[in-house]
């Protein structure tokens, strides 16, 4: 049985350093959500220092949202250092399927280094799994696949954990599948919810070697907080503010009571 | 008669993808405001993918606020693809007049590609129109020109729509001039209001080929929302939050009732 | 006797242009806090224009939070122009001690140009002062040194003003030391408080040549506002919002009444 509240406590106690190479749109949100969870975000992307920084960290988060060739080179250097140190690497394949460049760079990262957790929405993951889908920017289009199977196949192919976010999130490692059914529809109306989810997964992966449990627990905690926030939010502006407050004040008992998972 | 509320509904129904190459200060605001209006923002600036991304989009927004030579090259590539596809290109000449580099790069963009909407404050537009004004950072200094004439002249010279934002916004295409008198003085106290206005204009240009109507409608809706937000805001922090909420909840009837335009 | 409220009024009256080359995480916060204080932020980092932009400004703020070699080159160009014009240069040695690259680049800046105010937390300043400490990302580890002595030594060595932020902030110039005891523990739970403090110091340095007084006054005003904000904040999300509101509405009398300094 998943014990999300336990992992929440671990994040708060251990305050892991989570190294990010992320996008320029939501870099601020990513840092803030990791900090609100009690962990310690650090953003660094210079090729000369990414390996050193990753070596100080307890987890690495890569997000290709506003990638360039240079940034992807730095990501590979950071991930290589993370692999050497044995800390988990989470990759958000943000916008995969939108352009050939994104797809190519995702595959380049996946070939060069070991990624422990691949995360995206349905169409992004479908593309990374080799499907011929077209992502419309960063917004997901429905794909016809059975998403659980898709996640399992990619997880097997890449020997990693795969997270597909959506109304229900799927976390799979080729054997187990966990569905996370928390969250709120208003999350779709603000920028950064997907990127923040990835950063949260990264923070939780720093304190638990079972990455299926880590990813699912992170999503549960984050989405329970979003549900609490949505109760008082009046729109996307206040929802974001309330989410940071709710994460910070998140009560372990609230998580246990509100979590909706299916293993 | 301008029907801003109609265009608001179109943006919400069509959810156009608005591709941005914008600045690193307000990139987050730009994405959020476009999303709050119900459209779909995508930010991408790698030279290898900007043409592909622009080809997926329904409008392109360029903002030179934190330009580099590299970024301007990517802007030209994106705009060329936008021109080929026939989608509107909006350029925020943010900070024009502050340095020779900014002026040169604006002119470079305007020479290389077709820009459909040029947007700036009075001093920025004056500089782009060839006046010898000095912009003080991104804050406008008063210029002596008759601003309507300035807008009309630049619009004729560049065969485009020109938007001068200020206490009253001027939207001109060389023939018609529309004044938008909505907005709130508190908007001048927060960073990003000008950049967000440009992104909103971009989103509205995606759903209406008459760019004067599109730009003016976008400004009306955005500024009516700001007025609603200002009623409850207690300072620049809460104003920004309330603006996103107000845009998201913006009622077509409120727009019709509150819009103050002069054609 | 430090008259922080006087300097606050000067910032509001003179509205100095504060040129930043800062990091991509908190660039938005830095711009907003400067604006909330009534000053005028401008962010520009292209090598082709940084000297021109710095020449227009009344103060320059450098922050190496997400440095690259290119950005540091641009910082040196901007700082050289600032030195020539005689405007103050403030350097946030954000993350110094975390990687050799950061340390090297800090020293490179300090060798190449005149920095008037060096600002960091205890471990960052210790590293810049030559101590063998290891910074854990951007979070400070306790260092054993007597921090006042550390600040004084570095100030003498570099002929500048040194600011060490922490529970109590230390401002020293080799002769005088001022302690600023304002602030709120909740500030440690949000991203950007340190970077914003640097930007505020930069804005205050633009209106007062005594940089010890300028830095201490900026910190007092900023932290008094944070105390006011913390009274109504419910977490890190609302604290940030309330801080911008509190800065904007900050009353000179509240500053005089609430300031806790020790000279």
Q: What predicted TM-score, i.e. pTM, was given to this entire model?
A: 0.95
Contact (Cβ atoms closer than 8 angstroms) between residue B179 and residue B163: no
How many CB atoms sit inside 10 A of residue B86's CB?
Answer: 8
- Residues belonging to chain B: 263
β-pairing verdict for B161-165 and B117-121 = parallel
Pick from A28, A36, A243: CB nearest C28: A28
A95: helix, strand or coil: coil
Distance, in Å, from the CA atom of C178 to the CA atom of C262, rounded to the nearest integer, reads: 6
Average pLDDT over residues A57-62: 98
Q: Provide the shortest C-alpha distance from residue B120 to chain A (in Å).
A: 22
More confident residue, C132 or A222: A222
Residues of B with CB under 8 A from a CB of C: 23-26, 28-29, 65-69, 95, 98-102, 136-139, 189-192, 234-238, 240-241
- Strand order of the β-sheet with A177-180 is A40-43, A17-21, A59-63, A89-92, A117-121, A161-165, A169-172, A177-180, A261-262
* pLDDT of A138: 45
Phi, psi of A170 (to 5 degrees): -115, 130
User: CA torsion, points B22, B23, B28, B34, in degrees to nearest 10?
Assistant: -30
- Which chain C residues are closer than 8 Å to A203 by Cβ? none
**Per-residue pLDDT tens for C113-128?**
999 999 999 999 999 9
* pLDDT of A133: 59
How many CB atoms sit inside 10 A of residue B93's CB?
Answer: 28
* pLDDT of B24: 97
Q: Provide the shortest C-alpha distance from residue C140 to chain A (in Å).
A: 11
Task: Determine whether the interchain pair B246/A235 forms a contact, defined as Cβ–Cβ distance below 8 Å.
Answer: yes
Task: Determine whether the interchain pair B25/C48 forms a contact, defined as Cβ–Cβ distance below 8 Å.
Answer: no
Residues 6+ apart with CB under 8 A from B35: A189, A190, A191, A236, B41
Q: What contacts 24+ positions apart, CB below 8 Å, involve A139-143?
A: A139/B17, A139/B40, A140/A166
> Which H/E stretch holds residue B250?
none
- The beta strands (E) that lie in C12-94 are given as 17-21, 40-43, 59-63, 89-92
Distances (CA, A) of B155 to A108, B148, C83: 46, 11, 41
Decide if pLDDT at C175 tops 70.
yes
**Per-residue pLDDT tens for B118-143?**
999 999 999 999 876 555 544 444 44
Distance, in Å, from the CA atom of A90 to the CA atom of A70, rounded to the nearest integer, reads: 19
Give the residue among A109, A114, A111 at the shortest CA–CA distance from A86: A114
**Per-residue pLDDT tens for A122-181?**
999 999 998 765 555 444 445 445 899 999 999 999 999 999 999 999 999 999 999 999
Which conformational region is residue C43 in: left (phi greater than 0), alpha (psi within -120 to 50 degrees), or beta? beta
Residues 6+ apart with CB under 8 A from B193: B187, B226
**H-type helices in B86-131, by residue range?**
100-112, 122-128
Return the residue of C nearest to A47 by Cα. C68
Distance, in Å, from the CA atom of A214 to the CA atom of A191, rounded to the nearest integer, reads: 24
- Which chain A residues are closer than 8 Å to B243 by Cβ? 237
Give the residue among C79, C128, C65, C198 at the shortest CA–CA distance from A49: C65
Name the β-bridge partners of A240.
none
> Quick one: three-class SS letters along A97-110?
CCEHHHHHHHHHHH
**H-type helices in chain B, by residue range?**
4-14, 27-36, 50-56, 69-85, 100-112, 122-128, 147-158, 193-205, 211-232, 236-248, 252-258
* pLDDT of B232: 97
**Residue ranges of domains in chain A:** 4-262
Per-residue pLDDT of chain B (263 residues; tens, 9 = 90+): 679 999 999 999 999 999 999 999 999 999 999 999 999 999 999 999 999 999 999 999 999 999 999 999 999 999 999 999 999 999 999 999 999 999 999 999 999 999 999 999 999 999 999 876 555 544 444 444 589 999 999 999 999 999 999 999 999 999 999 999 999 999 999 999 999 999 999 999 999 999 999 999 999 999 999 999 999 999 999 999 999 999 999 999 999 999 999 98
* pLDDT of B2: 77
**Per-residue pLDDT tens for B148-157?**
999 999 999 9
Decide if pLDDT at C104 tops 60.
yes
Distance, in Å, from the CA atom of A50 to the CA atom of A20, rounded to the nearest integer, reads: 9
Candidates A24, A42, A65, A70: best to mutate against C (most CBs of C within 10 A) is: A42
CA-based diameter of chain C, in Å?
A: 46
Mean pLDDT for chain A? 94
Return the residue of B nearest to C241 by Cα. B237
Task: Determine whether the interchain pair A41/C137 forms a contact, defined as Cβ–Cβ distance below 8 Å.
Answer: yes
* pLDDT of C137: 46
Pick from C49, C57, C243: CB nearest B237: C243
Contact (Cβ atoms closer than 8 angstroms) between residue B196 and residue B183: no
Q: How confident is the model at residue A102 (pLDDT cuts 50, 70, 90)?
A: very high
Distance, in Å, from the CA atom of C220 to the CA atom of C172, rounded to the nearest integer, reads: 15
Decide if pLDDT at C97 tops 70.
yes
Report domain B4-262's class.
Answer: alpha beta
* pLDDT of A263: 87
Distance, in Å, from the CA atom of B247 to the CA atom of C259, rounded to the nearest integer, reads: 39
Q: Using CB atoms, list chains with 3+ pairs below 8 Å to chain C.
A: A, B
* pLDDT of A93: 98
Q: Provide the shortest C-alpha distance from residue B28 to chain A (in Å).
A: 5
Q: Provide the shortest C-alpha distance from residue A160 to chain B (in Å).
A: 28
Q: What is the ipTM of this complex?
A: 0.94
- Which chain C residues are closer than 8 Å to B69 by Cβ? 46, 48
Distance, in Å, from the CA atom of B238 to the CA atom of B241, rounded to the nearest integer, reads: 5
């Amino acid at each position: 049985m998943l014990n999300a509240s336990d992992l929440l406590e671990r994040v708060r106690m251990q305050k892991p350093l989570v190294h990010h190479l992320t996008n320029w749109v939501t870099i601020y949100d990513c840092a803030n959500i990791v900090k609100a969870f009690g962990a310690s975000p650090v953003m660094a992307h210079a090729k000369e220092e990414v390996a050193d920084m990753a070596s100080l960290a307890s987890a690495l988060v890569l997000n290709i949202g506003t990638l360039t060739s240079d940034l992807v080179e730095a990501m590979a250097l950071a991930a290589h250092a993370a692999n050497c140190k044995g800390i988990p690497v989470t990759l958000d394949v943000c916008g995969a399927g939108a352009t050939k460049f994104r797809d190519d760079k995702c595959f380049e990262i996946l070939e060069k280094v070991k990624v422990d957790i691949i995360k995206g929405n349905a169409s992004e993951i479908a593309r990374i799994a080799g499907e011929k889908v077209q992502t419309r920017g960063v917004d997901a289009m429905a794909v016809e696949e059975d998403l659980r199977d898709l996640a399992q196949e990619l997880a097997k192919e890449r020997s990693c954990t795969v997270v597909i976010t959506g109304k229900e999130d799927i976390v799979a490692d080729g054997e187990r599948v966990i569905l996370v059914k928390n969250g709120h529809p208003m999350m779709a109306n603000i920028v950064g919810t997907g990127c923040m989810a990835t950063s949260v997964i990264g923070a939780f992966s720093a304190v638990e070697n079972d990455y299926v449990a880590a990813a699912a627990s992170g999503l549960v905690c984050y989405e329970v907080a979003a549900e609490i926030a949505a109760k008082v939010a009046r729109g996307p502006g206040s929802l974001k503010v309330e989410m940071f407050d709710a994460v910070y004040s998140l009560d372990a008992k609230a998580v246990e009571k509100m979590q909706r998972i299916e293993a």
